[in-house]
Amino acid sequence: MVDKQIVDIIESSGIDIVLSLPCNMLSGIMDEIDRCKIKHVSVCREEEGVGIAAGVLLAGKRPMLLMQNSGLGNCVNALMSLTSLYEMPLLIMMSHRGGEGEKISAQMPMGEAAPLILDSMKIDHISIAGINELEGLKTDIDYAFENNEILAVFLKRGLWHETD
Amino acid sequence: MKRIDILNEVSKCDGLIVCNIGFPSRELYFLNDRPENFYMLGSMGLASSIGLGLAMSREEMVFVVDGDGSILMNLGTLSTLANNKTDNLCLVIVDNGSYGSTGGQKTYTSGKTDLEMIARGAGNSEVVRAKNKEDLSAALSKCMKKSVIIIAEAEPGNESVPIIDLEPVEIKNRFMGR
C-alpha cells in the first residue's frame, strides 16, 4: 500500500525516469515503478545514475535516483561537480538503513553519516517515517524542480512496519 | 590521430555533443563552440552516462567524447549501454593510453587492457576501432543510423588552448535552448 502511495506521488510530480539500484526495503517501490508509466533503468553504480539523471534533465525531463543510503557515498563527487555545479534539479529517494531495527552492522556507520554528509553538501533532505508524512512530499518535489535544487528523501523502516 | 583531429571529425556531425572534462572540452570549445555542446567541468567518468540519459530522452543523435581513463573509472556504463539499447548514441572513446589533463600519466590501456574487448564483453555488438581519420569518418557515418561505440586511437598530448570562459549554468541553459 505504502509503496503504491509513494509511486503515485512520484508519478504525479512528473518524474519521467527512475535510475535505481536495489535495496530490500525498496523492492515494493521498484515493483510499483515497473507497473506505472515511468521509465525505470537499473544502473551498476549510483554515480552512474547521477550522470544519466543529468542527461535526462538536459533533455528537459525529470529524473529520480532510487537507492540505499549507502549509495550516497558512491555519488558525492558527481552530485557536487555535476548536479550541483550546473544547478540541475534532482530527486533522490533513499532507504535509510542503520538505526533501530537494523540487523546488519555494516549499515550502521553510513546510516548515521548520510544526513550529515548531505548537510555538508548543502543538499536539502527530509525524512519520512510514517504514511502521514507523505502529505507534503509532492510540494517538496515540485519546489526542488522549480528551483533547480536537489532534494534527498530518506525513507525510514517504520514507514513499512506501520502497515504490517 | 591527435585528439583535436577526432574532435574535429565529431563536431562536423549533426547532433548533440557531450564532451569529457579537461582538455577535450577545452579543445572542442576552441575548435567549434556551439550551444549543442555540453562541456563537462567535473564528474570525471560520467560522459557516457550523461549521453545515455540524453539519448533515452531525445530524438537527436547524441555524440559522447569520452576518454580511456574516464571510461575505466565507470566501466559499469558499458553494461548499462548494452542493456538499454538506444539507436541515437555514438560513444567515441579517445584512447591515448594516458590521463591527458593531469600530466599524461599512463592508463592501463597503454598496458594489457583492451577497451574494445571490454565493450564487446559488456554486450555491445557495434564496437569499432578507428586507427586513423578514414576509419573514424567511416565509423561516424555508420553512427547516423544506429548506436556505435568507437575506440579512437590517439597520440597522447594536448593542444595549447584557453580555458572555457562560460559559467556552468550558462553551458546548461544554452544547451537546453533557454
> Can you tell me the mean pLDDT for A56-64?
98
Number of domain units in chain B: 1
pLDDT given for residue A162 in this prediction: 66
C-alpha–C-alpha distance, residues A67 and A94, integer Å: 5
Q: What percent of chain B has pLDDT over 90?
A: 95
Query: Mean pLDDT in chain B?
Result: 96
Domain range holding B38? 3-175
Its CATH class, for the domain covering A2-161, is alpha beta
The distance of A45 to chain B (nearest Cα, Å) reads: 7
Closest Cα in chain A to B47: A51
**pLDDT of residue A164 exceeding 80:** no
- Per-residue pLDDT band for B144 (boundaries 50, 70, 90) equals confident
**pLDDT of residue A163 exceeding 70:** no
pLDDT given for residue B172 in this prediction: 98
Cβ contact (<8 Å) for B53 and A55?
yes
Query: Mean pLDDT in chain A?
Result: 96
> Can you tell me the mean pLDDT for B115-125?
97
List, for residues B85-113, the tens digit of each pLDDT value. Answer: 899 999 999 999 999 999 999 999 999 99
Please state, in angstroms and as integers, the Cα–Cα distance from residue A71 to each residue in A97, B146, B156, following that order: 11, 33, 34
C-alpha–C-alpha distance, residues A31 and A17, integer Å: 14
> Can you tell me the mean pLDDT for B132-161?
93
pLDDT given for residue B176 in this prediction: 97
C-alpha–C-alpha distance, residues A156 and A98, integer Å: 10
Residues of B in contact with A77 (CB under 8 A): 42-43
Query: Model-level pTM greater than 0.90?
Result: yes
List, for residues A90-126, the tens digit of each pLDDT value. Answer: 999 999 999 888 999 999 999 999 999 999 999 999 9
* CB nearest B42 (choices: A49, A60, A85): A85
Please state, in angstroms and as integers, the Cα–Cα distance from residue B130 to each residue in B3, B137, B154, following that order: 12, 9, 9
Cβ contact (<8 Å) for B40 and A82?
yes
- Look up the CATH number of the domain holding residue B101: 3.40.50.970
Residue of B62, B117, B115 whose CA lies nearest to B90: B62
Q: Give me the interface pTM, i.e. the ipTM.
A: 0.97
pLDDT given for residue A99 in this prediction: 87
**Per-domain boundaries in chain A:** 2-161
DSSP annotation of B162 reads P
Given a contact cutoff of 8 angstroms between Cβ atoms, the answer to whether B7 and B37 are in contact is: no
Given a contact cutoff of 8 angstroms between Cβ atoms, the answer to whether B28 and B7 are in contact is: yes
Cβ contact (<8 Å) for A54 and B46?
yes
**pLDDT of residue B178 exceeding 80:** no
List, for residues B44-57, the tens digit of each pLDDT value. Answer: 999 999 999 999 99
